[in-house]
Amino acid sequence: MQLEEYILNNIDPEPDYLATINRNTHLRMLNPRMISGHMQGRLLSLLSKMIQPDLVLEIGTYTGYAALCLAEGLGAKGKLHTIECDDELEDFIRENFRNSPYNQQIELHIGDAKRTIDDLHGPFDLVFIDADKREYQQYYDAVLPKLRVGGLMIVDNTLWNDKVLEEVSDERDKQTQAILSFNRNIANDRRVEKIILPLRDGLTLIRKK
Ligand SMILES: C[S@@+](CC[C@H](N)C(=O)[O-])C[C@H]1O[C@@H](n2cnc3c(N)ncnc32)[C@H](O)[C@@H]1O
């Protein structure tokens, strides 16, 4: 915690509209820990600015925080698609997008990610996977063919609260099992280069060769 505070005091601040989303998410939402937040958000923003994507895909919008961080790297004609299955979040997400400079460049899809991905056309330059951990492999398999060569996929929660280190993980814990299997598959996938950053809950960066 002390280290996190030190880091936050020595990196760029969040834009005001993101600080507002962060605050309102903690005030109004269940599970506010799901939000990317200040530190991870600044990394997403920086990576996006380095890639300068024309087309971005996010899987798992929640309150829109990470989508807006990723949107910071879009050029004037760039576009970001983000998918969220919980329709009760829709009004809050749309309000958050409207209060940012990127409202016109973001398309929110309310629905199941697996079905929605099939309807979207790439090639994507940048993809952020952050929805149902049990479905990570399916998202990856559906998205990789739509990611351009040299494009970047960022996958959140790949250390899953350090549960990946537990020797015998509970058979019933389907999320941990899925993350373990996903990490193994990515490690062995020669179509991509990969690194796991021990940031927050683990962030895997995957570049398509
Ligand atoms: C960890 S939160 C996303 C946080 C957001 N990316 C951020 O960093 O601010 C995960 C979100 O994925 C959504 N989700 C879970 N399963 C989904 C699915 N099958 N299709 C679309 N969204 C899904 C959840 O409702 C939740 O809002």
Residue 189 has pLDDT above 80, yes or no: yes
Q: Looking at residue 172, what is its pLDDT?
A: 65
- Tens-digit pLDDT profile for residues 142-180: 999 999 999 999 999 999 988 888 866 666 688 999 999
Q: pLDDT tens for residues 6-45?
A: 999 999 999 999 999 999 999 999 999 999 999 999 999 9
- Name the burial class of residue 94, with classes exposed (0-12), middle (13-18) and buried (19+) by CB atoms within 10 angstroms of its CB: middle
Answer whether 182 contacts ligand 1 (Cβ < 6 A): no
> For the chain, what is the mean pLDDT?
96
Whether 69 is in the pocket of ligand 1, judged by its Cβ within 6 Å, is: no
In the numeric block, which tokens belong to residue 28? 């109004």
Strand partners, 194: 206
Q: Which uninterrupted H or E stretch holds 94?
A: helix 90-98
**Amino acid identity, residue 164?**
V
* DSSP-based three-state secondary structure for 193: strand
Cα 89 to Cα 165: distance, rounded to the nearest angstrom: 33
Q: Which atom of ligand 1 is nearest to the CA of 60?
A: 12
Q: What is the pTM of this model?
A: 0.97
Distance CA 45, CA 56 (A): 12
* pLDDT band at residue 84 using 50, 70 and 90 as cut-offs: very high
